[in-house]
Amino acid sequence: MSSKALPNFPFLLEAFFTKRLMQQRQVSGHTISSYRDTFRMFLEFSRKRLKKAPSGLRFEEIDAPLIAAFLQDLEKTCGVSARTRNLRLGSSVVFPLRCFRTSGSRESDTASFGHSW
């Protein structure tokens, strides 16, 4: 990993929705709603677990153990099915992996959203 700090999570999340999903992929409103709902639940879970407001969340804090705990919590507290869990896994894992491919500066992050993933 580069020694440069990664952009903040809110910046990456906004770019993911506006550039990747809406502009590049032109996904349906239903898909955007599904991703939005997943991130709302994930941010609430992260807020409670990390005791940090979503606006203060750093990209580096979103790791495999946090995502796994989130998915386990969904199964336990919401009683979600395997299919729903897998949908949530896709949206909560795809986003960080895609963002991780950036080089670390805001300019290059924005530019990287212009490329096909």
Q: Is 51 left (phi over 0), alpha (psi -120 to 50) or beta?
A: left
User: For residue 98, what pLDDT is reported?
Assistant: 65
Domain boundaries, the chain: 9-101
For the segment 9-36, what is each residue's pLDDT rounded down to a tens digit?
788 888 888 888 888 878 888 888 888 8
| Predicted pLDDT at 113 | 39
The CATH architecture to which 9-101 belongs is Orthogonal Bundle (1.10)
pLDDT single digits (tens) 31-65 = 888 888 888 888 999 999 999 998 888 878 888 88
Task: For 77-95, write each residue's pLDDT tens digit.
Answer: 888 887 887 777 777 666 6
Question: Which pLDDT score, from 0 to 100, does residue 51 have?
Answer: 95
Cβ-Cβ contacts under 8 Å for 19 (sequence gap 6 or more): 110, 113, 114
Is the pLDDT at 112 greater than 70, yes or no?
A: no
Query: What's the pTM value of the predicted model, to 2 decimals?
Result: 0.71
